Amino acid sequence: MSNRSWRTAIWCVAAVVTPAAIWAIALPWPADSDLGFVLPVPVLAVMALSGAGILLLAGGQSSAGLRATMAILGLTLLGYPCLLAMSAASRGGPLVAGAAFAGHLIPLTMVSVTPVLAVSVVTARSHRGWIAAILLVTAVTTVVDITGVRVLIVLASVVRMSGFVLPIAATWPLVRNTAADMRRRAIVCGMASVVPVLMLGLTGCAVAIAGLTWGPPGSDRPG
């Protein structure tokens, strides 16, 4: 497919998936819904809008590899809040509930891995060691979560969130002796894992400070 065809296809996907995400996030939550892995609706909305924006940007990339990694990141940020919201609304049956119960493992891993892959595409240099480090952090923190020990779970959460700096750390040693334009693009790719997390964290703090409810209007359970 030509670049124009890929761009059209990605933008069409964004045009279809974004309204679906808005619909899912706006679903009311029943009183007996399990909110164990659900984030406040404003955070879900910011996450979905971030995914839609990344998808639109992906359509404008000339590099096939960069376009693919950005599209994967965008779809991840769009799909994840949909799963959480549909699970909280008791929609979608066991499949959606099971995917939501998996927690933040796959989405958070993808948010960290895809920027590293994008940096690899931009610099044409291997980042296998850094990808292995991200997967190792994910594996260790997941095992710790399974133990159920509260102190260890808190520490694992801190380590997991700190893992978002790994793409940035992976970028610096591999942009040396590169052209200025390539260096700028690689740094932007490396920052891609931190910006969504900062946006979501700040939105979550704003929700908590403002005392807003977690659920959408019409929910039996505000959270």
For residue 223, the model assigns a pLDDT of 47
pLDDT over threshold 60, residue 222:
no
Residue 162's nearest CA partner among 101, 108, 84 is: 108
Three-state DSSP class for residue 41: helix
- Give the pLDDT mean for 13-39: 76
- Give the pLDDT mean for 197-212: 66
- Does residue 221 or residue 70 have the better pLDDT? 70
- Nearby residues of 56 by Cβ (< 8 Å), 6 or more positions away: 10, 11, 14, 74
**CA dihedral sign, ordered 87, 90, 92, 93:** positive
Residue 14 to residue 75: CA distance in whole angstroms: 8
Residue 184 to residue 113: CA distance in whole angstroms: 19
Average pLDDT score, the chain: 74
Reported as a pLDDT band with limits 50, 70 and 90, residue 146 is low
Residue 143 to residue 148: CA distance in whole angstroms: 9
pLDDT over threshold 70, residue 109:
yes
Q: What is the pTM of this model?
A: 0.69
- Does residue 170 or residue 51 have the better pLDDT? 51
For residues 141 and 159, is the Cβ–Cβ distance under 8 A? yes
- 124 class by beta-carbon count within 10 Å (0-12 exposed, 13-18 middle, 19+ buried): exposed
Reported as a pLDDT band with limits 50, 70 and 90, residue 167 is confident
